[in-house]
Structure 1
Amino acid sequence: MKVIANQHDTLDLICWRVFGKTNGVVEQTIKLNPHVSKSGSILEQGTTIVLPDLIPVTQELKMINLWD
């Protein structure tokens, strides 16, 4: 999966927004994007980031209705 960095995005913010966690995901993302680790902590707007193959948080969560 590829995402485009917004203004003031960081790798950990992107991982949190997409996967709902950062532990282990940021390290995998840095390995997939070696050009990013050299650029500093805040990404340039429009930078393409390749994310690891994990299930995004929107697909992982299941909604439970208490009053069905």
Structure 2
Amino acid sequence: MAETYIAKDGDMLDYICWKYYSAAQMPRAVERVLAANRGLAGVGLKLKAGTAVFLPDLPKPAATSIVRIWGD
């Protein structure tokens, strides 16, 4: 479910994405969040307190089956 995160002073976008999204969703998460937040890339690495960051829904990767080659 998409939501808006209100940054604390010094928050960084990659850390916010790491906290919000699962490890399987992390590839390209920062780029997708930047695409959903026009102008956020120009703010700089560290966000100021009160900066609103829209965190869109990202696709969840399909589950992969486990192949056991040495028994159960």
User: TM-score of the superposition, structure 2-length normalised?
Assistant: 0.67
Q: Which has the larger radius of gyration?
A: 2
1:30 aligns with 2:34: yes
Q: How does 1:50-61 map to 2 (within 5 A)?
A: 50-54=54-58
**Structure 1 residue runs of 4+, over 3 Å off?**
none
Shift of 1:54: 3.5
User: TM-score of the superposition, structure 1-length normalised?
Assistant: 0.71
Identity of aligned residues (%): 35
8 Å CA contact 1:15, 1:25 repeated in 2 = yes
Aligned length: 55
Question: What is the aligned-residue RMSD (CA, Å)?
Answer: 1.6
Q: Which residue of structure 1 aligns with residue 5 of structure 2?
A: 3
Unaligned 5+ segments in structure 1 are: 56-68
| TM-superposition CA deviations, 1:9-61 (whole Å, max 9, x none) | 01101000111443211000000112210111111111000011148xxxxxx
